[in-house]
Amino acid sequence: MNPPIRDWAGRRVWVIGASSGIGAALAQALLGRGARVTVSARREDALRDVVAGHPGARVAAFDLTDLSAFTQARDELCAAWGVIDLVVFSAGAYAAMRAWELDAAKIGRLIDINLTAPMAATATLIPLFLQQGGGALAFVASVAGYRGLPKAAAYGPTKAALINFAETLHLDLAPRGISVFLVNPGFVETPMTADNNFRMPALISPQQAAEEIIAGFARGGFEMHFPRRFTRWLKLLRLLPYRLYFALVRRGTGA
């Protein structure tokens, strides 16, 4: 699989989507372990709050859907650090959408930030990692990408595709010394889930999610999914034939 990452002291980590939620908590947890961290997202003030008290941390604010802004930030980071050890893609957006609410403009925005942007950015990182002789990529997808779920008519497909992208990258890059990690969280209490008007099973804090991710890097596998008390049921559902799967999801969600 991937070589474990256990010692964070001095490790150069770029967390994209770090102005709130899971990315912010992960950046703070890594700073606490001595990593050199650059945080990115669109809101510069929020990024500065995340790294307050860590004068060595870097802030690079940009919109990930703007590829030229990303490559400029990448070049500045390479000039400052020389080498990038790990890039975490946590930027993303959610919009609840039932089948009859599908909207082309909203679908396009979700695909852009959840899928096209991390794929395009990754395309510019791989030559860099090959040249520097190693590196690691981590993609925050979602258990919503495992199979079709109610309200996820646009979000779910973006995450399913991101999972497939990470799997494909791992096949190609692991033999070339580049690690690819996949992060599939269940429900995490962040601005993204704040408007959910249903009970979120096994809800965890962003800090708990960050600790799960750090534990996943230390195990050195491929996929990190958590919390297990929730995700192991979803793993099981994933194996069921469609007739049973649809019946159980309809019963469980009231859809």
Ligand X SMILES: NC(=O)c1ccc[n+]([C@@H]2O[C@H](COP(=O)([O-])OP(=O)(O)OC[C@H]3O[C@@H](n4cnc5c(N)ncnc54)[C@H](OP(=O)(O)O)[C@@H]3O)[C@@H](O)[C@H]2O)c1
Among 63, 126, 222, 237, binds ligand X (CB under 6 A): 63
Q: Active site residue: 146, 155, 242, 245, which one?
A: 155
Residue 25: count of CB within 10 angstroms of its CB:
24
Whole-number minimum distance, CB 41 to ligand X, in Å? 3
**155 a catalytic residue:** yes
Among 119, 126, 192, 202, binds ligand X (CB under 6 A): 192
Backbone angles phi, psi at 162, to 5 degrees: -65, -40
From residue 194, give the alpha-carbon distance in Å to each of 187, 190, 203.
11, 6, 12
Among 6, 43, 228, 250, binds ligand X (CB under 6 A): 43
Whole-number minimum distance, CB 28 to ligand X, in Å? 13
Whole-number minimum distance, CB 219 to ligand X, in Å? 19
- Which of 70, 100, 89, 61 minimizes the C-alpha distance to 213? 89
Q: Report the interhelical angle of 117-132 vs 67-81 (nearest 10°).
A: 30
Among 97, 180, 188, 214, binds ligand X (CB under 6 A): 188
Single-letter code of the amino acid located at 59: V
Interaction between residue 41 and ligand X (CB under 6 A): yes
Among 33, 54, 67, 93, binds ligand X (CB under 6 A): 93
Nearer to ligand X, 38 or 142 (CB): 142
Element (H, E) at 44: helix 44-50
Helix and strand tally (H, E) in the chain?
Answer: 9, 7
Residues binding ligand X (CB under 6 A)? 17-23, 41-43, 46, 63-65, 90-94, 113, 140, 142, 185, 187-188, 190-193
